[in-house]
Amino acid sequence: MKINKKPWPLSTAYKLRDRIDTNPDYQRPAVWTKSQKQLLIESILREYDIPKLYWREVSVKPDKYEVVDGQQRLRAIWEFMDGSYALPKDLDPIDGHEVAGKTYSDLDSDMIILFDQYCLDVAVLTDTEEEEVREMFLRLQNGTTLKAQEKRNARPGKMRDFVCELAKHPFFAAVNFDNTRFTYDHIAAQMCCLSLSKEICNIKDRDLNSMYENNKDFDAQSSGAKRVQRILNYLHAVFPRKTPELKRYNVISLFLLIKTLIDDYALSGREDDICKWFIDFEGRRAADKKKDAEDQDSKLVVYHEKTAHSTDAFDSLEFRNRFLIEDLFAHVPDIAQKDERRDFDESQRIVIYRRDGGKCQLCGAECDWNNWHADHKVAWSKGGKTSVENGQVLCPACNLSKGKN
């Protein structure tokens, strides 16, 4: 990599801005506040030095550039010259010129000339490798601290590329939160981490960093990649349009729910049922939060806490997943297992036991949790589904006698 330093008058940088890409894929989005932009413009008008900018030359004749460092400053300058904002109303005069509350075009001609002729100190990078540029970007950030996902987005590697593509999935058009500072990429990375793991796992920043590091050569056609896409495709079918209940805290919970069920349960054709259940659940949850503390559902209170604290930790993910599965089976009880397994799983057994009040449905005897059978109302051998709707509590004696009939 070679570095050539050259001065760029602001007027030239403005006229040639169509050749200057301020948003290469490793860059973060605009984060400067209006006051930060105004302070920069005042510094230029007072002829203070501003930090050096780094641009990567990507073509010649015509010369074109990517901004490695300094995109916030360039955007602030261009927006001021476009008239998008004015200087502060309480700004002191500069060399006898009134500047308070003025836009670029309102400035005195002498101030406009001074501004236009101000030179940016630009270091142009040539003969660069992609990894060198990304490494320099990470090292140069010293203003607004980069968030963890912004740093991951600047990493080289195929996992990073896959996550960036996943963040464009149409499912994200249905969610009720913005893609501020790569939020969709962060959630997509967490989805990948969960999908690549056989079990529920932590999805904290350090876990995502390890995933990126260990999967630099990630195959976008691998079974793991296809699995996360399959789950997102199903979620998109469940929520084909904007859904206000889809908040950031519950999207991962829904992804994990579908991940848990999609291989073992007949979810095809149940998209509307799952959508209605989720919207109903969020309604019940919101209504419960408005109740006085003593009247709230204790289990929902714990669920509220798990969605507010350490949401990316194993314990929180596991609790939320178990809670949602049990609630889904309780309200959509005819979701059946689609494999050849005969036994009800733990989540179904809990719902069946609670629904039947722990009593045998043939003789009425009370059954201890450790001494009862989950029975198929329509026998499994006769095509009965292994679903909550087709399950019932039987005491061991009744179940054994039933089997003899």
Whether the pLDDT of residue 144 is over 70: the answer is no
The count of domains in the chain is: 3
Whether the pLDDT of residue 292 is over 60: the answer is yes
pLDDT of res. 230: 96
CA distances from 350 to 260, 322, 359, 360, 364 (A): 17, 11, 13, 14, 18
CATH code at position 358: 3.40.1800.10
Whether the pLDDT of residue 184 is over 80: the answer is yes
**Is there a cis peptide before residue 156, judged by omega within 30 degrees of 0?**
no
- As a whole number, mean pLDDT of residues 378-386 equals 76
pLDDT of res. 71: 87
Q: Judge if 26 and 125 occupy the same domain.
A: yes
pLDDT of res. 176: 93
Distance between CA atoms of residues 38 and 313, nearest Å: 41
Q: Judge if 202 and 108 occupy the same domain.
A: no
Whether the pLDDT of residue 364 is over 70: the answer is yes
Least confident of 141-150, 225-234, 272-281: 141-150
pLDDT digits (tens, 9 = 90+) for 295-350: 999 989 888 888 877 788 999 999 999 999 999 999 999 888 765 667 899 999 99
Q: Point out the domain boundary residue: 275, 297, 331.
A: 331
The answer to the question of residue 340 being in a domain is: no
Q: Judge if 140 and 28 occupy the same domain.
A: yes
pLDDT digits (tens, 9 = 90+) for 205-221: 899 999 999 999 999 99
pLDDT of res. 182: 83
pLDDT of res. 24: 75
Q: Judge if 179 and 129 occupy the same domain.
A: no
Q: Judge if 176 and 122 occupy the same domain.
A: no
Distance between CA atoms of residues 217 and 157, nearest Å: 6
Length of the chain: 405
Mean pLDDT across the chain, nearest whole number?
A: 88
Q: Judge if 352 and 327 occupy the same domain.
A: no
Which class for 365: exposed (0-12), middle (13-18), buried (19 or more C-beta within 10 A)?
middle
Q: How large is the greatest C-alpha to C-alpha distance in the chain, in angstroms?
A: 104
Domain span at residue 364 reads 346-404
Q: Judge if 207 and 322 occupy the same domain.
A: yes
97 pLDDT band (50/70/90 cuts)? very high
β strands within 308-382, DSSP E: 373-376
- As a whole number, mean pLDDT of residues 261-288 equals 92
pLDDT of res. 27: 62
Q: What is the CA radius of gyration of the chain?
A: 30
Phi-psi region of 108 (alpha: psi -120 to 50; beta: other; left: phi over 0): beta
Q: Point out the domain boundary residue: 111, 144, 177.
A: 144
CB 349 within 8 A of CB 337: no
Whether the pLDDT of residue 136 is over 80: the answer is no
Residue 147 DSSP code: P
